[in-house]
A and B are shown apart, each in its own frame.
Chain A
Amino acid sequence: MKNFYKRGMLIIMFLLAMALLVMLAMGQAKAATLSPTIYFYQQEITGKVSEPKGKPLEGVTVFIKNKRVGEVTAADGSYAIQASPGDTLIFSFIGFKSQEVAVGNQSTINVVLNEDIASLNEVLINAGYYTVKRRERTGNISRVTAEEIDKQPVISPLQALQGRMAGVQITSGGTNPGAASTIQIRGVNSLRSEGNYPLYIIDGVPISSIPVESNSLLGNSGLDPLNNLNPANIESIEVLKDADATAIYGSRGANGVVLITTKTGLKSSKGLEMRAYTGISYVPGKMDLLETPRYLELRKAAYENDGIEPNASNAYDLLVWDQQRYTDWQEYAFGKNAEVTNANLAFTGGKDLTSFRVGGSWFSQGTVYPGDYNYRKLTGNLSLNHSSQNKKLNLQVSLNYGLDKNQLTGDLNVGALNFLPPNAPALLNDDDSLNWTEWAEAGIKNPLEGFFNSNDIQTNNFITNAGISYEIAKGLTLKSSLGYTRYDSDEFWKLPARSYNPAGNPINRSVHLNSVRKSWIVEPQLVYNVRFGKLNMDLLLGGTIQENTNSRQSLQGIGYASEALIGNLAAAESILNAQNSTVEYRYAALFSRLGLNWDKKYYLNLTGRRDGSSRFGPNKRFANFGAIGTAWIFSEESFMKDHLNFLSLGKLRASYGSTGNDQIGDYGYLDAYGATRGPGGLFPTGLANPDYSWEINKKLEVGLELAFWNNRVNLGGSWYQNRSSNQLVGYTLPAITGFGSVQANLPATVENRGTEIEFSSINIDNLNFKWQTSLNISFPKNELVRYPGIEESSYANTYRVGEPLNISLNYNYTGIDPESGYYSFQDVNGDSRLDYQDRIIVEDRTSEFFGGLNNSLSYQNFHLQFLWQFVRQNGKLIYYNAGRPVNILSGYNTDDFQQPTQSYQGALAYSNAINSSLFTSDGSFLRLKTLSLSYDLPKQFLQRIGINKFQLFFNGQNLWTITSYKGMDPENSYDGNFIGNLRSLTAGAQVNF
């Protein structure tokens, strides 16, 4: 209890300090408006602009900040311009860092412009609670900036990151707009598929990274919680990977951290920015399936092989349906072009002490599927920064709001449509109603059942963050951030009776789902920076209190008198399955960081966090996490400087530490009863274990960073080994216990290790032409290192010790049995049956390596950037089941595959073959992921008409894929029928005033 008082006092002190800061801020804000400085007269300023070695620079733009006055330097680098003492001159030139010089009393201003290439290592990287120079970082943080994201025609910013970061693998959630992508940072850590989400932090506010539940076609992947962000408003995305970077996030850092920073008025150029693009998206390719004659030929052969006489009930495609008819079902299912349009508007302004940025955007995208559906999104954002005259007090507010409306077809099983027999009858009648009769003749239901259903999902996302900081004494700053987020989704699934076969007496129905995620967070922090001679010390102490409330409501309305009334609950005959739930999650933590460096050569970074989470039983709520990071910049050592002066940076770094994972359902420890689906009943919903606790992830990393020739060539390599133990899983139990699983900590260890290499170079850099290349490549390895007693566990047939988690256990395929004509497999234990004991071949489904190669070229006003994404992995393609009433790939032949058959034995052999290496194929690919080309209209011309920048651009996505994989999209190489990525072609313009 003593501790409780201590803690209470601490909180009260923090709150008082915060209140004081707010009052101070208000006073400062008032003071700031009282003293405008006004200068009246102008004078001519002259000077010369040169590069560091003294060579004069011709063509440098010299202009006055916030005024439309500008000049260009002559061949000798000289210039002359009229300016007031209160003005600021800006010198800018391609390939060099812009420089600002306040005029003051000077009449001659000579400027030396530094080359821009050094900036890569000087850039500040967001590490969450603190920032660090890239050069000085001890941890592993990847960063992608606005230029790489903002023009891509994507809904969620995550989709723009594919191929751009080492160690970060992103898989598209499919072609329905809004589907959540999967992001994996350095592999799968948890045995639970739902325990592998990274932590998302937007402007300092954590938001849930778990996809939002949906009844719609997006149900499998869920809705991406980042959909409502505007990719064009993102300044940078940092991904924290190693212990040094993630341990300060403690129990939530195990799967890595994604930090998203939105644009502020501080860094953006002032003025109005308008941008719009439009274009189309479409499915880039189809599978090569059989046409009618060959299909029917194989079907007939099947009956011959089986010695069975086809009849109208088993061979409707041969005896009932038109033998000449041919429909390209893929064309029907996804042959449309989806239009995509985006418009962006942002205004940035402010004076010395205050700056702001306000913006909005509109985005819309159609679908490639039949029917008239679309996705629309509206976003708005505001960012405000203010500091007091003496710069001691800083105030920062950011607001991000997004609203989207996703209209989807309610039920459309594209996967089933693709493989319909090519001579199958039309799905719709001439009057656009569903064709039941012709399908009924064949004894099957129309595959388009549910076609007129629609699903409207509307989501709102509001993320706000306020930060305030005050420098109490030199080097000592007290600050606090406050965040609030609210996400709600409202889903309405309309199921009119005409979507269903009249035989079932269908009625008009609606299904409603409403979910709300709310959270607030307070994070007071104390930051102290001090120097003792060559020792520099950064200290950070902070605390977090966070509360999340998630609620959902769902119900169904049935028996609407007419289709027009569907959704009007008052008109429903009855309301069914009304459910609601609210769950809470609370989280409290203390965290700290101590950053030390000696003479900018030796770095030590210690981070730690003590976490408490409500997701665990009362005795297991608290745990400590921490990490140590070190770096040695050996290029600063004199012996290196003397002998290897081409080396501009040489750094060795290493880190080790622990993070945790508390991604697990709320209240899992309670032995609880819930409502049954039927009215008036209660039942136990699962088994309870009050004693489960955190999953621990220990990360070790060693890295080497080199830069050569004045930072023109950068090379970084890192090796990591992350071990997740104390696996927190829905531990599968035999059904005799009543349920299939219980939450428990398993004595299992999963290891992810690998090597990541990042390389960048400036190949050519002269006045007119600049060419930069960057490459990232990751070699991940995943292994289940330890699992005592796996043979007796429920994972005996899922995982193997010593193998990766993502595996499939396969039969040993022994060729086609010449007698039966069917596939045959090795019966390992000779018991004349094929079961798991015969599945001796382990198929590794982890990517061997993946990465991206980016090139950006500028020639005068033209800019070209293109990114190649590459993945080396295996795949599987199974659509060779000849003889059944489904279409197959045209690559079918009787040498490699079993004879056409429709017998039970044949089907069995085929289903076993799926679990063998027979259908394994190479799933590797090289893809031209993005290509963007832009042209800036000449500045001299634009400035005359008062425009700062006018750019025309073209953007292409997934333009070209080189692969031997014959499925839809090699990105999903184990589901050949899954379309992950659309090809998009968009063009637009950007104007800055």
Chain B
Amino acid sequence: MNIKTLINRTLFLLFLASNYSCEKLVEIDSPTDKLVREVVFNNDQTAISAMDGIYNELFQADFSSGSRSSVTVLAGLSSDNVQYLNSGNINMMQFQEHEIDPSNPGNLQLWTSAYNIIYLCNSLIEGLENSSSIDAELQQQLEGEARFVRAFSYFQLVNLYGDVPLILNTDYRENALKTRVEVDEIYNLIEEDLLISSETLSSSYRNGERTSVNKFGANALLARVYLYQEDWQKAEDYSSQVINETATYEILDNLDDVFLANSREAIWQISPIGGGGIASNTNDGSMFIIDPFFSFFATLKLDASIIPEFNESDIRRQNWVGYNSSKDAFFSHKYKIDASSEFPIKEYSMVLRLAEQYLIRAEARANLGKINDALNDLDVIRKRAGLPALTEITPGIAEEELMEKIFRQRRLELFTEWGHRWFDLKRTDRTTNVFGNNPTWQNTDILYPIPAEEISKNPNLIQNDGY
């Protein structure tokens, strides 16, 4: 008899008399600070809280926070709009130099946070599907909001990384080994989600603030998606739906008002309230503004190449660009508050705004050959910036030149917002023109590397070329 069987037999004997279980003795109450998922989706109020939780987390999630590892900052560095002040910071410089190491921590945070938000959305969508006790209308509304956020997150991922894994449920066993799927398939999901959102979401903001998503938010993102896919007609249609909603949205004359909380130009914003802390400023503000006296907090500046692009009469140069003499650096001054703990909160982080819709429509229309309509749309942006209307100075502009003008306005209007410039350069194949002189530039740099840590955990993920 070996030792094992001896022990087993002994144990058996020892517990013969007491061979029963004591389930009751080890049953415990639920924790006070947590709700089991089924409970969350049994009640309207907690279901709403689950959606509000996603909005809160968007401010915490790196990719959408506007902070160090956000799309705004990292894709800004990769474009020709933003530079890092301290060249000794290897991890940040890698984005600027297009030499991103697959183990770069910022890149990992970018990726990780986006998939975390996608999980939250999937969990909510599943929870709503399995629930029978939530008001049907509310159920549709919340599902629409979650689908929008999911689509938005995938939009960022697909533009940063190319093919990415498509995760549509919370089953980690299945998802842990997912492979990357083609860009088109990701876009199919984005389109599907957004079309559902567009259909089910109400026209008003659910919580009265522009931090929840309404129908026009879905339409605005759809317009951008179609633009990126060069489906010009749909891009025009959906941007028109937003632009025509004049009761809710307008291009503000005062540039200093654009980024205020619930500004009438805003279609969707993320509130710093999601940080839950004492700070009430946006991360965009604290990242980009260089304090006149205490410049050592600063990490970012505007790339010098953008400054001469501003026409002398362009009031965006005055209102949206600052200069710090001790660092001899220009900085983005769209947000005015770099540090604050005042409530109510004055500025929200802008995600979607009306000006972009005009630029989308201008580009779509130009591609559709509607040059005059395109000029009119572009002029809305130009006039607000104090520039002369093109309809007056160059009414018969050639399409190619008009395209250039639109792209220039996209750069000057949307700089330091959500990596627009980087995505624009990529989708229009201008990266080689802009970065070609840089000895470290390679054509494969248009995609960020899949984080090395992800590949080591999921061997089914294949690295992008060039890394």
Structural contact, A6 and B20, CB atoms closer than 8 A: yes
Structural contact, B33 and A674, CB atoms closer than 8 A: yes
B87 at the interface (CB under 8 A from A): yes
For A606, give the chain B residue with the smallest CB separation. B10
Structural contact, B120 and A621, CB atoms closer than 8 A: no
- B interface, how many residues as a size bin? 35 or more
Please, which residues of chain B bring their CB within 8 A of the CB of A656?
3, 7
Q: Is the interface of A mostly helix, strand, loop or mixed?
A: mixed
Given the known interface contacts A503-B293, A677-B274, A684-B123, the answer about A670 and B340 at a Cβ–Cβ threshold of 8 Å is: no
B148 at the interface (CB under 8 A from A): no
B304 at the interface (CB under 8 A from A): no
B178 at the interface (CB under 8 A from A): yes
Complex Cα–Cα for A586 and B178 (A): 38
What is the interface size of chain A, counting residues whose CB is below 8 A from a CB of the partner? 98
A215 at the interface (CB under 8 A from B): no
Complex Cα–Cα for A908 and B25 (A): 57
Q: What are the interface flags for B166-188 relative to A under an 8 Å C-beta threshold, 1 for contact and 0 otherwise?
A: 01001010011010000000000
Find A680's partner among B25, B49, B339, B457 (CB 8 Å cutoff).
B49
A891 at the interface (CB under 8 A from B): no
Structural contact, B295 and A443, CB atoms closer than 8 A: yes
Structural contact, B277 and A580, CB atoms closer than 8 A: no
A433 at the interface (CB under 8 A from B): no
For B10, give the chain A residue with the smallest CB separation. A606
Please, which residues of chain B bring their CB within 8 A of the CB of A667?
30-31, 34
Given the known interface contacts A683-B50, A835-B103, the answer about A672 and B37 at a Cβ–Cβ threshold of 8 Å is: yes
Given the known interface contacts A626-B10, A670-B34, A904-B88, the answer about A621 and B119 at a Cβ–Cβ threshold of 8 Å is: no
Stretch of A722-730, A735-743, A871-879 that contacts chain B: A735-743
Please, which residues of chain A bring their CB within 8 A of the CB of B453?
735
Stretch of B51-59, B246-254, B348-356, B421-429 that contacts chain A: B51-59
Structural contact, B33 and A907, CB atoms closer than 8 A: no
Structural contact, A681 and B49, CB atoms closer than 8 A: yes
B459 at the interface (CB under 8 A from A): yes
Structural contact, A621 and B457, CB atoms closer than 8 A: no
Please, which residues of chain B bring their CB within 8 A of the CB of A290?
none
Complex Cα–Cα for A682 and B45 (A): 11
Find A684's partner among B120, B175, B451 (CB 8 Å cutoff).
B120
Structural contact, A612 and B341, CB atoms closer than 8 A: no
Please, which residues of chain A bring their CB within 8 A of the CB of B462?
none
A859 at the interface (CB under 8 A from B): no
A445 at the interface (CB under 8 A from B): yes
Given the known interface contacts A504-B339, A505-B340, A737-B167, the answer about A678 and B29 at a Cβ–Cβ threshold of 8 Å is: no
Find A677's partner among B277, B294, B340 (CB 8 Å cutoff).
B277
Structural contact, A677 and B60, CB atoms closer than 8 A: yes
User: Shortest CB–CB separation between residue B285 and chain A, in angstroms?
Assistant: 12
Structural contact, B28 and A735, CB atoms closer than 8 A: no
B residues 128-145 in Cβ contact with A at 8 Å:
none
B residues 229-255 in Cβ contact with A at 8 Å:
none
Complex Cα–Cα for A884 and B33 (A): 47
Please, which residues of chain B bring their CB within 8 A of the CB of A440?
293-296
A23 at the interface (CB under 8 A from B): no
Please, which residues of chain A bring their CB within 8 A of the CB of B102?
835
Structural contact, B31 and A582, CB atoms closer than 8 A: yes
User: Shortest CB–CB separation between residue A454 and chain B, in angstroms?
Assistant: 18
Complex Cα–Cα for A505 and B20 (A): 65
B residues 80-124 in Cβ contact with A at 8 Å:
87-88, 90, 93, 102-103, 108, 111-112, 115-116, 118-120, 122-123
Structural contact, A586 and B25, CB atoms closer than 8 A: yes
User: Shortest CB–CB separation between residue A321 and chain B, in angstroms?
Assistant: 15
User: Shortest CB–CB separation between residue B138 and chain A, in angstroms?
Assistant: 15
A786 at the interface (CB under 8 A from B): no
A577 at the interface (CB under 8 A from B): yes
Structural contact, B461 and A558, CB atoms closer than 8 A: no
Structural contact, B25 and A612, CB atoms closer than 8 A: yes
A residues 309-347 in Cβ contact with B at 8 Å:
313
Complex Cα–Cα for A590 and B116 (A): 43
Given the known interface contacts A545-B25, A677-B60, A907-B90, the answer about A505 and B33 at a Cβ–Cβ threshold of 8 Å is: no
Find B37's partner among A551, A671, A739 (CB 8 Å cutoff).
A671
B364 at the interface (CB under 8 A from A): no
B278 at the interface (CB under 8 A from A): yes
Given the known interface contacts A443-B295, A681-B57, the answer about A835 and B7 at a Cβ–Cβ threshold of 8 Å is: no
For A796, give the chain B residue with the smallest CB separation. B456
For A10, give the chain B residue with the smallest CB separation. B18
Complex Cα–Cα for A505 and B27 (A): 50
A653 at the interface (CB under 8 A from B): no
A627 at the interface (CB under 8 A from B): yes
For B170, give the chain A residue with the smallest CB separation. A738
B21 at the interface (CB under 8 A from A): yes
Structural contact, B297 and A737, CB atoms closer than 8 A: no
Complex Cα–Cα for A982 and B112 (A): 42
A residues 466-514 in Cβ contact with B at 8 Å:
501, 503-505, 507, 509
Please, which residues of chain B bring their CB within 8 A of the CB of A580?
32-33
For A791, give the chain B residue with the smallest CB separation. B459
Complex Cα–Cα for A583 and B40 (A): 19
User: Shortest CB–CB separation between residue A208 and chain B, in angstroms?
Assistant: 16
For B50, give the chain A residue with the smallest CB separation. A682
B residues 41-76 in Cβ contact with A at 8 Å:
46, 49-50, 52-57, 59-60
A residues 588-647 in Cβ contact with B at 8 Å:
588, 590, 592, 594, 606, 608, 610, 612-614, 618, 621-622, 624, 626-628
Find A624's partner among B15, B55, B296, B456 (CB 8 Å cutoff).
B15
Structural contact, B339 and A505, CB atoms closer than 8 A: yes
Complex Cα–Cα for A674 and B102 (A): 33
Given the known interface contacts A612-B21, A666-B31, A739-B116, the answer about A678 and B275 at a Cβ–Cβ threshold of 8 Å is: yes
Structural contact, B278 and A606, CB atoms closer than 8 A: no
Given the known interface contacts A504-B297, A735-B115, the answer about A671 and B11 at a Cβ–Cβ threshold of 8 Å is: no
Please, which residues of chain A bring their CB within 8 A of the CB of B454?
734-736
Complex Cα–Cα for A504 and B341 (A): 10
Structural contact, A682 and B40, CB atoms closer than 8 A: yes
Structural contact, A509 and B119, CB atoms closer than 8 A: no
Complex Cα–Cα for A501 and B295 (A): 12
For A618, give the chain B residue with the smallest CB separation. B23
Complex Cα–Cα for A732 and B112 (A): 13
Given the known interface contacts A679-B273, A907-B88, the answer about A606 and B457 at a Cβ–Cβ threshold of 8 Å is: no
For A444, give the chain B residue with the smallest CB separation. B296
Complex Cα–Cα for A622 and B19 (A): 11
Structural contact, A626 and B14, CB atoms closer than 8 A: yes
Please, which residues of chain B bring their CB within 8 A of the CB of A579?
33
Please, which residues of chain B bring their CB within 8 A of the CB of A551?
32
For A591, give the chain B residue with the smallest CB separation. B14
Q: What are the interface flags for B320-358 relative to A under an 8 Å C-beta threshold, 1 for contact and 0 otherwise?
A: 000000110000000000011101000000000000000
A-B contact pairs, 8 of them (CB 8 A): A442-B296, A507-B341, A509-B278, A672-B35, A672-B36, A678-B271, A685-B34, A734-B461
**A residues bordering B, Cβ < 8 Å?**
3-4, 6-7, 313, 436, 439-440, 442-445, 501, 503-505, 507, 509, 545, 551, 556, 558-559, 574, 576-577, 579-588, 590, 592, 594, 606, 608, 610, 612-614, 618, 621-622, 624, 626-628, 656-658, 666-667, 670-685, 687, 732-740, 742, 791-794, 796-797, 835-836, 884, 902, 904, 907-908, 911
The 8 A-B pairs at the shortest CB distance, nearest first, are namely A738-B119, A681-B53, A503-B294, A677-B276, A678-B56, A581-B33, A3-B20, A588-B25
